[in-house]
Amino acid sequence: MKRMFLFAAAAAALVPLAAQAQVMSNGPVVSAGNTLLNIAAEGKSARTPDLAVFTAGVTTQGKTAGEALTENAQRMTSVIAALRKAGIAERDIQTSNLSVNPVYGQPKRLPDGSYEQGDPVIIGYQASNQVSVRQRKLDQYGKVIDTLVAAGANQVNGPAFQIDSPDGALDEARIEAMKKARARADLYAKAAGLRVVRILSISENAGWAPPQPPVLFARAEMASAPKSSPVAAGELEMTVTVNVSYELAP
């Protein structure tokens, strides 16, 4: 009986602890008589991009899949060789797409203006091979693009400018965001006749602004373009939003 009584007493003692843990897990808990204040603040920092990511490739057509692939392989070999010659490292060249698809002919138009019914007819095949490239010498970007087109590339998409090591810029934005959050908390507290006691929680959302819209190049366009196509990298804005919960007291 004594053992049963002790077990029952221990179980009863655990109930309020479990309930308290559940309350804590639902969000920050402030002391009785104090106030919870949630602040969202954004910090920013700007950097000049040091990396341009783009895709380059070749699309070819042939009467058979093998014919399309053979021509594609020959031209793509020249494109990759041109990338290496331009100083792009092996680690910065990665195949992103390799595909072969049938090309269908248009249905025959009948004298009454309607079209002949029936299954689509395959008239050939199209092969496509693309690589994703990271260009680290931005002042050479235009020259590299021109070299690729001269080597046989007829699909060049990009660039998407990036920062290779964004941690330093993000840390600057974090510090600015936290300063703004605290200043805003002090403002609210003063206006309410209270004071900031402590920080209860901090969370963040971080990243950089969306890349500039890709600039699309085609062989026909590049053929008449001036040598070394001009490219402006501009700046990338790093942003961090922090959500901070403060406890205010009289």
C-alpha 92/C-alpha 89 separation (Å) is 5
Per mean pLDDT, which range of 60-74, 112-126, 186-200 is the poorest? 112-126
Same domain for 133 and 84 = yes
Q: Is 25 part of any domain?
A: no
Average model confidence (pLDDT) across the chain: 81
pLDDT-derived band at 13, boundaries 50, 70, 90: very low
pLDDT of residue 233: 79
Same domain for 128 and 69 = yes
Q: Is 75 part of any domain?
A: yes
Same domain for 152 and 96 = yes
Strand partners, 115: 109
The enclosing domain of 176 has a CATH number of 3.30.110.170
Q: Is 11 part of any domain?
A: no
Of 162, 177, 192, which residue constitutes the final position of a domain?
Answer: 162
**117 or 215: which carries more pLDDT confidence?**
117
Same domain for 172 and 154 = no
Written in H, E and C, the secondary structure of the chain is: CHHHHHHHHHHHHHHHHHHHHHHHHCCCCCCCCCEEEEEEEEEEEEECCCEEEEEEEEEEEECCHHHHHHHHHHHHHHHHHHHHHCCCCHHHEEEEEEEEEEEECCCCECCCCCECCCCCCEEEEEEEEEEEEEECCHHHHHHHHHHHHHHCCCEEEEEEEECCCCHHHHHHHHHHHHHHHHHHHHHHHHHCCCEEEEEEEEEEEEEECCCCCCEEEEHHHHHCCCCCCCCCCCCEEEEEEEEEEEEEEC
Same domain for 202 and 151 = no
Please tell me the total number of residues recorded for the chain in this structure.
250
**Which residue range(s) make up the domain with 181?**
31-50+164-216+226-250
Same domain for 186 and 144 = no
Q: Measured between alpha carbons, how far is residue 217 from residues 72, 148, 153 in Å? A: 19, 11, 10
Same domain for 83 and 59 = yes
The enclosing domain of 67 has a CATH number of 3.30.70.2970
Do 236 and 161 form a contact (C-beta atoms < 8 A)?
yes
Strand partners, 43: 240
Same domain for 196 and 146 = no
What does the pLDDT average to over 85-100? 93
pLDDT tops 80 at residue 215? no
Quote the distance between the C-alpha of residue 60 and its chain's center: 30
Same domain for 100 and 35 = no
Same domain for 200 and 152 = no
pLDDT-derived band at 220, boundaries 50, 70, 90: very low
Q: Is 24 part of any domain?
A: no
Same domain for 168 and 46 = yes
pLDDT-derived band at 141, boundaries 50, 70, 90: confident
pTM over 0.85: no
Determine what percent of the chain is predicted with pLDDT higher than 70: 79
Q: Is 115 part of any domain?
A: no
pLDDT tops 60 at residue 3? no
